[in-house]
Amino acid sequence: MAEPYLISVRGLCEFAAKHGDLDTRFTPSPTGQEGMAGHAEVQARRAPGCECEVKLQAAFGPLLVRGRADAYDPSRNLLEEIKTHRSELSTLPENQRALHWAQARVYGHMLCLERGLKQIELAIVYFDIGSRQETAVTETRSAEELADFFTSLCTRFLVWAEQEMAHQQARNAALNALAFPFAQFRPGQRKFAEAVYASCLKRQSLMAQAPTGIGKTLACLFPSLKAMGKSLIDRSFYLAAKTSGRQLALDALHRALPKQPVRVLELVARDKACVHPDKTCHGESCPLAKGFYDRLPAARTEAAQQSMLDQDCIATIAQRHSVCPYYLSSEMARWADVIIGDYNYYFDYGGMLYGLTLENQWQVQVLVDEAHNLLPRARAMYSAALRKGALAGARKLAPAPIKKRLSAINRFWRQAPQDDYVVLQEVPKDLIADVQSLISSVTETLAQAPLALDSAMLDVYFDAIQFARLAEEFGPHAICDISDGETICIRNIVPAPYLKPRLSAARSAVLFSATLSPWHFVSDSLGMPETAGCIDIPSPFNSGQLEVQLAAHISTRYKERQASVPAIVALMANGYRAQPGNYLAFFSSFDYLEQVYLAFQNAHPDIPVFRQTRAMPEAERAAFVGRFQPDARGIGFAVLGGAFSEGIDLPGARLIGAWIASLGLPQFNPVNEQFRQRMDALFGAGYDYTYLYPGLQKVVQAAGRVIRSEGDRGMVCLIDDRFAQPDVRALLPQWWQPRLIE
């Protein structure tokens, strides 16, 4: 007997019950955590005997629809669907109301079916996160009416479901027959791929350190596809920190899946996908939002016939059907097999892929590319700041009710310490209350007049929301500080409490990078499950391919940088003249880079040099990389840890050497010292966790640009006396054999 097609109640209703305009004005929605807390609070208010989180399911042909009803009171025969919100209910878009009632009626049908009820009272209970007040809207329906409604939804969905079942059957057959796209694996690549597959088989997460150049992208994606073919997973998420990482994944899948019935979807940020950036997302403003849900089915059907839904393909389909490309791609995230996107789609507060995984109870494998970047990115996701100047600027044009709230917050600044840097023991409670009042006031204004506020006020609004969320969850994983009497910040230090549930929700999460050690540092910082495995793939390269020089006679410490410039210039010039070609030179900051760059130009005007600049536009970054051609010559100056120290591929003569004038240690300042103290208190290794490990990761990443294949030869010169220290040497790749130079 064939397996039923599983669909959640929400998924069924999202597909079949929404109609009319796209409208995002009724925002911001509560976070998932706030929503769960709101549900729990409402449920706790119910009388004894009220049943909560009632598991229900019902079949319709091959469909099995399942979900959890929020609350059912048998004594009143009342079923409640709880919805949390932040704003005036009068402005709730019609498509949202239709969705909420559809869910309540489907649950009502299931309950009548299960318990033999003739009729039932249904209620949508709207719970205001700010005021903690409930508003209930009720109706009474007969079992027959609800059965008819359920039948109508399922009938609409059934054609799509049958198509999806056929797709999954064809997909699995193709993936089971799928062969590795090359004649053989690279050295180390098979071992890595086997570990990725085994992690999925065992329901285990994995930390994998694998050297640059073995083909990590394909070594992750290929076994994940094979696991999908065996129905071990429903979806594979490939998450990258940078655009270049997404492109590498797309290229690998183009090669691995020629004309295969596997849907690959690329997710891009809304501001990059938006066709009308001057308009807001609702039918009265944007023509693509007007009637969006009425045109979506045709666009969705066409998109489902494509195998490679990259941003260009999505944009073409969206244009043909006059729908928003960003929200079309969001819809297709429900139906794609492999999804490629940024970290934030799974790990952020409102991560769409994480939400879909929970909602649909998907079995997923999460592949995290260049995972050493996840720590700084996650810290940023779970940090927030309020700036005195921004609040004052927003206040000038704010409506009176909002201006009053901003003035209340301003009282905090008048009382705040004016020192350069102050750490508070907790987030001030009065400030939290004032920030929450501001959020409520702005939300009400936006609900009534979406275009009433300028961009400066909206920026403050979103900062306030993030600040209020993090204030509620403040703990040892964060600090609260004030800088220059102007900015109060909640800084995340250890994102593990936020990431751990997201990592645990996956059947398997694979974090991989060329620099992912020590394991305890990664696990402690990111919250890897206790059962997570780890694998260190030996390098296929040898010391004969890479000459590692150690210039220990030069110090690049901050106080000695000026004095180090002539020695570094001479070292680089001598190395270049001994073997002209393409080189990169990495420095700890733009200031240091500029000093050496200007001195080098003056001393050696015949040697071609070019440099990375601050806030370099994407076109200029592409031009910088484009300078590295096999027949070219010159030295590119770049910042360690920046756009050119990882994620770029310059094989063969395109890059034959690199100078790294820094240990990459984060700047010594009051903020990082607070990080060190907290890391020391939590893990007993404050200096290593804050400075040494992140710094050496950057060094090894930058050096990895030189040797990209077994045929490459090159040089890396490490410039600083501290590279000779045993604890530092121990963190460098084992196959390196540094030799001292004068």
The DSSP code sequence of 662-704 is S--PPP-SHHHHHHHHHHHHHHS-HHIIIIIHHHHHHHHHHHT
Q: Structure tokens of 185?
A: 């694996």
Contact 175/262 with Cβ under 8 angstroms? yes
Task: Give the pLDDT confidence score for residue 166 in this predicted structure.
Answer: 94
- Omega before 277 within 30 of 0, i.e. cis: no
Q: HEC states along 445-504? A: HHHHCCCCCCHHHHHHHHHHHHHHHHHHCCCCCEEEEEECCCEEEEEECCCHHHHHHHHH
Task: Please report, as a single letter, which amino acid is at residue 5.
Answer: Y
Task: Give the pLDDT confidence score for residue 122 in this predicted structure.
Answer: 97
Nearest to 248 by CA among 219, 226, 228, 274: 219
Q: Is the pLDDT of residue 32 over 70?
A: no
Task: Please report, as a single letter, which amino acid is at residue 296.
Answer: L
Q: Structure tokens of 141?
A: 């329906």
- What mean pLDDT do residues 165-173 have? 95
User: Which residues are paired to 487 by β-bridges?
Assistant: 387, 483
Q: How confident is the model at residue 31 (pLDDT cuts 50, 70, 90)?
A: low
Share of the chain above pLDDT 90, in %: 76
Tens of pLDDT along 684-739?
A: 999 999 999 999 999 999 999 998 887 889 999 999 999 999 999 999 998 899 99
Tens of pLDDT along 90-131?
A: 777 777 888 999 999 999 999 999 999 999 999 999 988 777
Task: Give the pLDDT confidence score for residue 397 in this predicted structure.
Answer: 84
Neighbouring residues of 548: CB distance < 8 A, sequence distance ≥ 6: 703, 715, 716, 717, 718, 736, 737, 738, 739
Q: Is the pLDDT of residue 27 over 60?
A: no
CA atoms within 13 A on the CB side of 5: 20
Q: Is the pLDDT of residue 514 over 60?
A: yes
Q: Which DSSP state fits 614?
A: T
Average pLDDT, the chain: 92
User: What is the spatial distance between Cα 67 and Cα 35, in angstroms, rounded to a whole number?
Assistant: 17
Q: How confident is the model at residue 33 (pLDDT cuts 50, 70, 90)?
A: low
Distance, first Cα to last Cα, the chain: 75
Q: How confident is the model at residue 251 (pLDDT cuts 50, 70, 90)?
A: very high
Contact 283/23 with Cβ under 8 angstroms? yes
Q: How far is CA 27 from CA 80, 98, 437, in A?
A: 23, 17, 16
Tens of pLDDT along 339-349?
A: 999 999 999 98
pTM of the model: 0.91
Task: Give the pLDDT confidence score for residue 583 in this predicted structure.
Answer: 98
- What mean pLDDT do residues 410-418 have? 86
- What mean pLDDT do residues 193-218 have? 93
Q: Is the pLDDT of residue 534 over 70?
A: yes
Contact 358/350 with Cβ under 8 angstroms? no
- Residue 364: its H or E element: strand 364-368
User: What is the spatial distance between Cα 305 and Cα 196, in angstroms, rounded to a whole number?
Assistant: 29
The DSSP code sequence of 242-264 is SHHHHHHHHHHHHHH-TT-S--E
Tens of pLDDT along 664-691?
A: 999 999 999 999 999 999 999 999 999 9
> Rg of the Cα trace of the chain?
28
Task: Give the pLDDT confidence score for residue 451 in this predicted structure.
Answer: 64
Q: Structure tokens of 145?
A: 């009416």
> Dihedral angle at the C-alpha atoms of 103, 104, 105, 107, nearest 10 degrees?
90
- What mean pLDDT do residues 299-328 have? 95
Share of the chain above pLDDT 70, in %: 98
Task: Give the pLDDT confidence score for residue 130 in this predicted structure.
Answer: 73
**What sign does the dihedral 116-122-127-133 (CA atoms) show?**
negative
Task: Give the pLDDT confidence score for residue 284 in this predicted structure.
Answer: 80
The DSSP code sequence of 92-155 is --HHHHHHHHHHHHHHHHHHHHHHT-SEEEEEEEEEETTT--EEEEEEEEEHHHHHHHHHHHHH
Q: Is the pLDDT of residue 378 over 90?
A: yes
User: What is the spatial distance between Cα 539 and Cα 519, in angstroms, rounded to a whole number?
Assistant: 18
Tens of pLDDT along 427-449?
A: 999 999 999 999 888 887 877 77
- What mean pLDDT do residues 508-524 have? 95
Q: Is the pLDDT of residue 28 over 70?
A: no
Nearest to 394 by CA among 404, 383, 384: 404
Task: Give the pLDDT confidence score for residue 539 in this predicted structure.
Answer: 87
Q: Is the pLDDT of residue 26 over 70?
A: no
User: What is the spatial distance between Cα 444 and Cα 270, in angstroms, rounded to a whole number?
Assistant: 24
User: What is the spatial distance between Cα 474 and Cα 382, in angstroms, rounded to a whole number?
Assistant: 10
Neighbouring residues of 172: CB distance < 8 A, sequence distance ≥ 6: 228, 229, 230, 231
Nearest to 314 by CA among 351, 277, 339: 339
- How many residues comprise the chain? 742
User: What is the spatial distance between Cα 338 and Cα 713, in angstroms, rounded to a whole number?
Assistant: 36
Contact 63/157 with Cβ under 8 angstroms? yes
Task: Give the pLDDT confidence score for residue 76 in this predicted structure.
Answer: 95
Q: Is the pLDDT of residue 487 over 90?
A: yes
User: What is the spatial distance between Cα 71 and Cα 558, in angstroms, rounded to a whole number?
Assistant: 62
**What are the start-end ranges of the H helices in 473-613?**
496-505, 519-526, 561-578, 590-603
Q: HEC states along 227-239? A: HHHCCCCCEEEEE
Task: Give the pLDDT confidence score for residue 443 in this predicted structure.
Answer: 80
Contact 709/541 with Cβ under 8 angstroms? no
Q: Is the pLDDT of residue 1 over 60?
A: no
Task: Give the pLDDT confidence score for residue 711 in this predicted structure.
Answer: 84
Number of H helices, E strands in the chain: 27, 25
Q: How confident is the model at residue 245 (pLDDT cuts 50, 70, 90)?
A: confident
Q: How confident is the model at residue 450 (pLDDT cuts 50, 70, 90)?
A: low
Contact 489/428 with Cβ under 8 angstroms? no
- What mean pLDDT do residues 473-480 have? 96
**Range from 364-368, 463-467, 594-598, 738-742 carrying the lowest mean pLDDT:** 738-742
- What mean pLDDT do residues 125-140 have? 88
Q: Mapping DSSP to helix (H, G, I), strand (E, B) and coil, where does residue 723 land? A: helix
Q: How confident is the model at residue 235 (pLDDT cuts 50, 70, 90)?
A: very high
User: What is the spatial distance between Cα 4 and Cα 65, in angstroms, rounded to a whole number?
Assistant: 10
